[in-house]
Chains A and B, each alone.
Chain A
């Protein structure tokens, strides 16, 4: 294209042309470099950038499942979900938190306790998660926020299904409650499964059946823009609701048992011997679980924690008490099974017992003694000396092994979270826990259910049900079946059972008859009824420890030093439909305090009008 004729033939013209050609080359190379760079991005790294671009564009949103509901044996709803609107703040997106809160306060009431909860949840949660500032907004409040929301970036309305326990304190211990996932739980749970779910079962059945109740998280893939606004849903999978629970628990019986315990501290566990189903499980006093769902206020929680009656403590599965004389029928059966003694073999009770070569006197509860007694009378009168001697003859090893077959010393496996195992002492335990050998005198104390021997109310109830069953020990279950919403059939919770090894079934008859005699004419005769026959055993346990941190007040010391009253029973004797264990902390004597409570529950369950019971001074002992 260069046409020399127009060019001046001067030197600067030639220099310029050289420079221009050089520049042209440079330009071509530079543009080629840019193209090479583009080729690297668009060809070599194309896949990488496609992935990044998709990650930008497509976000996975979790769809939390609906938690399963809980129904009692008769279909009464015990745990419900209701939609609640919350005012959520995503701290990450807020520029001036103070100003935002001040602005929101002009729209809705935000109390100091809301702010405290907000600060607490904020400290626990992740920065980019929305944290509720106010809960349970009214529809009017929701509308007010909706209109003004644009003024507050990072503020939104959240909808969540909140757990609600319509019967509150009646079910607080057995069902437990759900609450916000805390930091410690955050580390242990599967983050994917809980994405979008803020609540988790904290205690009781809610915790034990967490995996069943929770359901499966769903998701949706959405296309978002750079501001995070969802433009359209690409694909997704709906969440699967949690399964509903249907309980053995009969809320009417639960309420009757709670009423029977009244304002006394204690626990009652009632079991259907045929199924192992827990008909009632009461720990008294109780509390309202509903505030825990949203996060209970600090003062309210402190009041509950510092209450000397310890309402938060689930005595039914975590209270470990010396079982006292309630174990005598079990030990008596052990004597028969091992051939240590015959049912009619008698011992003389002078009111105290001494080991050979030892001056220590082991007292009977009755100062004058019971005279000559065989096993039936020993159980009916709760003769301590008889059982000191029987325990001595059995020895700790056989005593331990036989009681273990009734489930003492190990968790029953009840489906209520937090169960403790109690303590069934043995030589091995003495070595391990105390670094001391077993002393022969300790065997005697175990023989009357005292000393280191500890049992939980649910253990006593399960063992009593096994007695009623003539040896079939079933792991107690609160939950009878689970039910997938929409499905036709329920899925039953499988029974776990084992047998107490008793070869001669006549021995069951003998012990059960002795227990029936306890109510007919023995230490629990005040609860005798003509309507049905009750087999039972009273117990009185000296206070050692309640297995919890108790802070005694001066004025209450004497009351708190009193013995615990216990009673185990099942009825009707001929065809047992209910077995139960009652413990009243510092209640005094089992026969006068614990047995009448049991009778009221038995009446309620077996369909008899509550009887007027003799409430006079106790003349019967242990």
Chain B
């Protein structure tokens, strides 16, 4: 609907200025190219990580195709529509989180899935987009930089879904959802004093958080501090992944030649720990290439955000970009032993579909913000 309205508006543009195919599809070329590059690179690593299982790679290609479809679809949606839907989507998301806690399926010991009859669905994924959207909507209608009261209101908007996700329990997603909201608050111009104050508060609340953590989550943090205390238990992931990366050296052991990966010493090597496979087989060089692609994507996202024509667009595009960064940093930090182990995939590289759709959808929204120049006829 929105697209048709926009397209009809295009008709009035003189022929010389007629946009090309990409513009008509509302795609941003630099972002699209770097995302496709990343997907291709990721598939190469995945092909090795799955022990050259064409079936798995095929499935992943299919998922990537679906996710790109979602990206393309969302790119067509005018930011004004997103803005209008922000609050309802957020509310539906929170209600679904409540539903998950009551009737959700249990997978790997945590309640995360909602069976909608046709598809199984992880509502917490939706919140990764819904929370920044909600905050962007909430803050864009108010004077910026936001007042302390508005920030408090924003914090509550973040806290409600975060706590619901934390109760599932899913620490990784809870962190990402909090992060996505916090990024919007930061970009909106939350005062440095407040940021500092919240940081101090968070630090002082750490013991309370510790008390709230599940045993396995506490164990992960303890193991992170000293993996050698439990080399065969929870420290095993960290130790083996560091061995994989470290033994890769500058140039790596070569594609398909990672012994840690292929002899099954590296756990979760197709999903959360795929970065270690890359580090082992392609070395520091391979990791450098990956980081460069990520950096290009993130900087492009931030550029798009700062170029957006209204506050909602700026905050949403910036928030979605920075949450992508949080994905990258938490995953690579955990795999290389900088951060404790939390279940966060390496975006667009790890095997699996759910986060893929969320991330690509986010890029779709960013592209939409960049390409819909004309104010939406409300």
Chain B residues packing against A (C-beta within 8 Å): 144-145, 183, 186-189, 240, 242-250, 259-260, 263-265, 279, 283-284, 287-288, 291, 294-295, 298-299, 302-303, 305-307, 309-311, 314-315, 318, 322, 325, 328-329, 332-333, 336-338, 373
A34 pairs with B263, CB closer than 8 A:
no
Residues of B within 8 A of A48 (CB): 246
Partner of B306, one of A16, A38, A53: A16
Residues of B within 8 A of A56 (CB): 240, 243, 259-260, 263, 265
| Interface flags, A1-28, vs B, CB<8A=1, else 0 | 1110011100111011101110110011
A35 pairs with B291, CB closer than 8 A:
yes
B246 pairs with A46, CB closer than 8 A:
yes
State the CA gap A223–B260 with chains docked (Å). 12
State the Cβ distance, B253 to closest chain A Cβ, in Å. Answer: 9
A27 pairs with B311, CB closer than 8 A:
no
B306 pairs with A11, CB closer than 8 A:
no
| Interface flags, A214-243, vs B, CB<8A=1, else 0 | 000000000111110001000000000000
Partner of B247, one of A20, A24, A35, A52: A52
B302 pairs with A24, CB closer than 8 A:
yes
20 A-B residue contacts at CB 8 Å? A6-B309, A7-B307, A11-B144, A12-B311, A13-B314, A15-B189, A16-B187, A16-B314, A23-B183, A31-B291, A34-B329, A34-B332, A35-B288, A38-B279, A38-B287, A38-B336, A42-B248, A49-B242, A50-B247, A225-B263
B298 pairs with A24, CB closer than 8 A:
yes
9 additional A-B residue pairs with CB within 8 Å, beyond A41-B279, A57-B259: A6-B309, A7-B307, A13-B311, A16-B187, A31-B295, A37-B337, A46-B250, A49-B247, A53-B244
Given A23-B186, A23-B187, A42-B283, verify A2-B306 contact (CB < 8 Å).
yes
State the CA gap A28–B264 with chains docked (Å). 33
Residues of A within 8 A of B288 (CB): 35
Residues of B within 8 A of A24 (CB): 298-299, 302
State the CA gap A57–B328 with chains docked (Å). 30
State the CA gap A43–B243 with chains docked (Å). 12
A20 pairs with B265, CB closer than 8 A:
no
Query: Is chain B's interface secondary structure helix, strand, loop, or mixed overall?
Result: helix
Residues of B within 8 A of A27 (CB): 295, 298-299, 302, 322, 325
Given A20-B302, A31-B291, A53-B260, verify A38-B328 contact (CB < 8 Å).
no
B243 pairs with A19, CB closer than 8 A:
no
A30 pairs with B311, CB closer than 8 A:
no
Asked if A45 is an interface residue, CB under 8 A from chain B, the answer is yes
Residues of B within 8 A of A2 (CB): 303, 306-307
State the CA gap A43–B244 with chains docked (Å). 13
State the Cβ distance, B275 to closest chain A Cβ, in Å. Answer: 9
The 5 A-B residue pairs whose C-beta atoms are closest, nearest first, are A49-B246, A12-B144, A53-B247, A41-B246, A226-B264
B244 pairs with A19, CB closer than 8 A:
no
State the Cβ distance, B374 to closest chain A Cβ, in Å. Answer: 12
State the CA gap A21–B318 with chains docked (Å). 11
Residues of B within 8 A of A37 (CB): 333, 336-338
B243 pairs with A224, CB closer than 8 A:
no
B284 pairs with A1, CB closer than 8 A:
no
State the CA gap A24–B249 with chains docked (Å). 29
Residues of B within 8 A of A28 (CB): 295
Residues of A within 8 A of B309 (CB): 6, 8
State the Cβ distance, B112 to closest chain A Cβ, in Å. Answer: 28
Partner of A23, one of B242, B318, B338: B318
Asked if A107 is an interface residue, CB under 8 A from chain B, the answer is no
Partner of A33, one of B250, B315, B325, B338: B338
Asked if A39 is an interface residue, CB under 8 A from chain B, the answer is yes
A31 pairs with B246, CB closer than 8 A:
no
State the CA gap A48–B333 with chains docked (Å). 20
Residues of A within 8 A of B188 (CB): 12, 16, 19
State the CA gap A227–B309 with chains docked (Å). 57
- Considering only CB atoms, which chain A residue lies closest to B299 in the complex? A24
State the CA gap A12–B294 with chains docked (Å). 27
Interface centre among B188, B259, B294, B333 (most CB of A within 10 A): B259
B263 pairs with A50, CB closer than 8 A:
no
B305 pairs with A16, CB closer than 8 A:
yes
Partner of A1, one of B298, B303, B329: B303
Residues of B within 8 A of A19 (CB): 186-189, 318
Partner of A227, one of B264, B284, B314, B373: B264
Residues of A within 8 A of B325 (CB): 27, 30
Residues of A within 8 A of B315 (CB): 16
Residues of B within 8 A of A30 (CB): 325, 329
State the CA gap A1–B284 with chains docked (Å). 30
Partner of A42, one of B250, B303, B333, B337: B250
State the Cβ distance, B252 to closest chain A Cβ, in Å. Answer: 9
Residues of B within 8 A of A223 (CB): 259, 263
Partner of A53, one of B189, B259, B311: B259
Residues of A within 8 A of B318 (CB): 16, 19-20, 23
State the CA gap A34–B306 with chains docked (Å). 26
| Interface flags, A381-414, vs B, CB<8A=1, else 0 | 0000000000000000000000000000000000
Residues of B within 8 A of A6 (CB): 307, 309, 373
Given A35-B287, A57-B259, A226-B264, verify A17-B189 contact (CB < 8 Å).
no
State the Cβ distance, B136 to closest chain A Cβ, in Å. Answer: 11
State the CA gap A24–B294 with chains docked (Å). 12
Residues of A within 8 A of B187 (CB): 16, 19-20, 23
B245 pairs with A49, CB closer than 8 A:
yes
State the CA gap A444–B165 with chains docked (Å). 102
State the Cβ distance, A461 to closest chain B Cβ, in Å. Answer: 60
Given A16-B187, A225-B264, A231-B263, verify A42-B295 contact (CB < 8 Å).
no
- Considering only CB atoms, which chain B residue lies closest to A35 in the complex? B291
Residues of A within 8 A of B299 (CB): 24, 27
State the CA gap A12–B310 with chains docked (Å). 10
B249 pairs with A46, CB closer than 8 A:
yes
State the Cβ distance, A209 to closest chain B Cβ, in Å. Answer: 42
State the Cβ distance, A612 to closest chain B Cβ, in Å. Answer: 77
State the Cβ distance, B1 to closest chain A Cβ, in Å. Answer: 26
B284 pairs with A43, CB closer than 8 A:
yes
Residues of B within 8 A of A43 (CB): 249-250, 284
State the Cβ distance, B361 to closest chain A Cβ, in Å. Answer: 21
- Considering only CB atoms, which chain B residue lies closest to A3 in the complex? B307
B265 pairs with A16, CB closer than 8 A:
no
B310 pairs with A8, CB closer than 8 A:
yes
| Interface flags, A46-77, vs B, CB<8A=1, else 0 | 10111011001100000000000000000000
B329 pairs with A31, CB closer than 8 A:
yes
- Considering only CB atoms, which chain A residue lies closest to B189 in the complex? A15
Given A34-B332, A56-B243, verify A15-B264 contact (CB < 8 Å).
no
Residues of B within 8 A of A8 (CB): 309-310
Residues of A within 8 A of B144 (CB): 11-12, 15-16
State the Cβ distance, B273 to closest chain A Cβ, in Å. Answer: 13
Residues of A within 8 A of B305 (CB): 16, 20
State the Cβ distance, B73 to closest chain A Cβ, in Å. Answer: 25
Residues of B within 8 A of A13 (CB): 311, 314
- Considering only CB atoms, which chain B residue lies closest to A7 in the complex? B307
Given A16-B314, A223-B263, verify A38-B295 contact (CB < 8 Å).
no
State the Cβ distance, A59 to closest chain B Cβ, in Å. Answer: 11
Residues of A within 8 A of B333 (CB): 34, 37
State the CA gap A53–B249 with chains docked (Å). 12
